[in-house]
A and B are shown apart, each in its own frame.
Chain A
Amino acid sequence: MLDLRRWRDKNELKSGLALLAVGTAIGVYQTNGAPINEAFQFLAKPFHLGSPPEQLENAYILDLQQRVVELENQNQRLRELIDYEKNSGLDVTTPAAVIGRSADNWWQQLTVNKGSNDGVKEGDFVTGPGGLVGRITSVTPNSARVLLLSDPSSQVGAKISRTRSMGYIRGEAGSQATMQFFEKFPDAKVGDVIVTSSFSRLFPQGVPIGRIAEIDSDKSPAPEATIQLSVPVSNLEWVDIHPYTPKRDVDAAPAQIVTDDNP
């Protein structure tokens, strides 16, 4: 009896503290690490003052930009005429600075310094100079976590801009990704530009991803291409966040998706 009591007296504090530690960790876990992210954002602030860098004032680029805007407008108008898709989803963007990388080695993530206070929400997609970067997977008031396109768990429906050959892209944890085609003999060659296709549910279609660096046509069942991602993910400093609502709940059962898409 005395032993038991002595044991309790001795270990009461210890077990209490252990419970407290695990309890706190569970609390943080439940909030998706929000307190830590907020603290990180707060501490990283002094190192990331300033506004997004000025665009290169290059006459040629300006010229091209204007032409793109013009073409986009024309395209928009034509689409409205045929009532194809009213909203391109690229209207309002939030520039954000990259303040952190992934907290372990198995995920390819970024932390950016804009959060729900700036209207960022889960499911928004993120672009950098050159094309698609990834999508927002969690948001705190002043920071957001981006799952990169180069993460091995990222799969995106993609197509070749020139020939419309369809396939999907899978990240490879580096600056390259693998594209698998749906057809046996896709019309593809090295250097072709890859953009997101209408099959991608998490991203709007037509966002540039990268270029074909290599094609392996012997691959079974369908040929594979190695894609060089156009955004330099490893030294990315600024990104743009575009509001977007994914087309469906990824976790929904197939039957539900069909009814959701065709009400």
Chain B
Amino acid sequence: MGGTTDLAELTGAELADALAAGETTSVEATRACLDRIEALDGTLGSFLHVDAEGALAAAAEADERRSAASPASPLDGVPVAVKDLLCTVGQPTTAGSRILEGWVPPYDATVVTRLRRAGLPILGKTNLDEFAMGSSTEHSAYGPTRNPWDTERTPGGSGGGSAAAVAARLAPLAIGTDTGGSIRQPGALTGTVGVKPTYGGVSRYGIVAMASSLDQAGPVTRTVLDAALLHEVIGGHDPLDSTSIDAPVPPVVEAARRGDVAGLRIGVVKELGGEGFQSGVQARFEESVQLLTEAGATVVEVSCPSFAHALAAYYLVMPSEVSSNLARFDAMRYGLRVFPEGVDDPSAEQVMAATRDAGFGDEVKRRIILGTYALSSGYYDAYYGSAQKVRALVARDFGRAFEQADVLVSPTAPTTAFRMGEKLDDPLAMYLQDVATIPANLAGVPGLSLPAGLAEDGLPVGVQFLAPLQADDRLYNAAAALERLLLEKWGGPLLAPSATEEVSA
């Protein structure tokens, strides 16, 4: 199967070039991805639903446009995987939850509309922690996703499905969502690139909401350029999302092609590193900073003292919004409906309760309960109110830091990929996975995770770049520079071992 496997190994930009040059077709490339999904995903569990028919039909249309020399976009015909949190006409959208099992939305998320319009065949829907709540993809109601680097380990979460699919070359591109790190942390743990754009930079319309003021969709890819190309497709103002920014997408592709850090001020965030961070993670991070310095960047240390409270504030704001956003799953209009046992003629209220009891997993219930409590009369000021104040302080710290530095850097996650089940019974340990990614969500600023090499355990490490609001292009510029320096150093990309052999072994 050499020929088709090779196509799956191409990055998005490489495949787009091959399609433009007429060296291959979208149907062939899409089939290569589908073959690889067929061969490997039984083990990885990165997809919840594969739409071979739909993807191949879209690929055939892309090929027609390519042969007529009128591609719909630079990525026309490049297949993409979509996190199963985005509504897709014709494919189920479950959010990884039993409560939405089998639900097929009557409408497309704006991001999906834009993917379709740009001609990207949608391979299927990727696995996630239920309603995107988790950092390991073990909280999916449909079973966990495994890390292609070591199938005994998690790929991170919540977007473990998209990250694993891209790391394992089941798809060149994928869409993730990031509420507290759900794109970036899986990126770090699987050796992929993950970007959380500026809040409001990508429409949330049609994305099953977890925490409205924090959720943001973004690209999951293997290279910085691919992320920029995908960002350009999905980004930009959407009148259907009132929180969408009415401004052009920052020049991310141009920045990704430039990759020049000469004279750039890079701020190392004192609070995001050191204690609590795995030594191999810290070592790769410091080497990255060293490489950037050698390439002409100026490195300064910045302090963001309120980040110490970011995790706590996050775990008040997020569950509060969760408790309200997830109220609609009540069995009245769509989704699961469970009748309480032993009750004749149950009331609507009893059916709601029985359905929510059966349809939500423990982590979701935990957050609904936390949020309901935090918003309760008499507690609101102490919890939700205080958390909003911390949020303002986090934004102020970012503002001050960006006076001293053009971009900030930190390790993306405190550890490399952890073993399946390791943190499942310890929610707080799980929550700490997002300690370095959460501040960006609280302040709305953009963040990017780039593979920075392997730690002492042979597993990938991510370095995180952070930029001011609407300066997403700075992420791509700095990350592209570091990516090039690392590739030169490594002599090529560090890819997850092709799991084919392991699976057959």
Mutual binders A and B = no
